């Protein structure tokens, strides 16, 4: 029903969203550096001329990309979660949720669930087998 690749897609989408949000923040910072309200200006302290309209277009495109990825991730999370809560027991569900929905590391999950990493990987492998069939 659900493959590990589908679960990993959730992680990759979250990483893509984070990267795009960082790019968006850099664009906001660049706009703040413009020294006057003219449409083409230099950054404070000199440097290359900046086209403010171009920056705003880039910001709008980046916001749209983030929105599309967020919707895609939300829909994937919802579909996968509906399946795993029906198939997995509480601990397995909690493990899968932490790993793929919250993007937690094995060390973090180990501390939170009070299991060794070795035990977690066995539990993880068993949970993946259950949701794959």
Q: Are residues 107 and 122 in the same domain?
A: yes
| Mean of all residue pLDDT scores within the chain | 89
- Dist. CA 103–CA 73, nearest whole Å: 13
Residue 47 has pLDDT above 60, yes or no: no
Residue 27's pLDDT is 94
Q: How many CA atoms lie within 13 A of 79 on its CB side?
A: 13
pLDDT attached to residue 1 = 82
Same domain, 14 and 67: yes
How many domains in the chain? 2
- Domain of residue 113 covers 89-133
Q: Are residues 5 and 41 both part of a single domain?
A: yes
Query: Average pLDDT, stretch 4-31?
Result: 94
What is the percentage of the chain residues whose pLDDT exceeds 70? 88
69 plus 102 within the same structural domain: no
60 and 9 within one domain = yes
| Domain co-membership, 55 together with 101 | no
pTM > 0.75: yes or no: yes
**Residues 59, 115 within the same domain:** no
**Shortest CA distance to 123 belongs to which of 90, 85, 91, 86?**
91
Residues 6+ apart with CB under 8 A from 48: 42
For residue 35, pLDDT over 60 is answered with no
pLDDT tens digits, residue range 82-105?
A: 999 999 999 999 999 999 999 999
Assess whether 4 and 68 both reside in one domain. yes
Q: Does residue 102 share a domain with residue 65?
A: no
Instruction: Answer yes or no: is pLDDT of 37 > 60.
Output: no
């Amino acid at each position: 029903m659900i493959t590990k690749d589908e679960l990993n897609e959730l992680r990759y989408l979250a990483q893509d969203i984070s990267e795009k949000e960082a790019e968006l923040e850099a664009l906001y910072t660049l706009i703040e550096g413009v020294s006057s309200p003219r449409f083409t200006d230099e950054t404070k302290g000199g440097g290359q001329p900046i086209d403010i309209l171009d920056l705003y277009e880039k910001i709008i495109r980046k916001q749209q990309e983030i929105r599309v990825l967020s919707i895609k991730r939300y829909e994937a999370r919802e579909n996968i979660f509906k399946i795993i809560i029906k198939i997995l027991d509480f601990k397995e569900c909690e493990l899968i949720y932490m790993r793929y929905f919250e993007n937690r590391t094995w060390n973090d999950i180990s501390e939170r669930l009070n299991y060794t990493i070795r035990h977690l990987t066995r539990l993880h492998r068993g949970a993946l087998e259950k949701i794959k069939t």
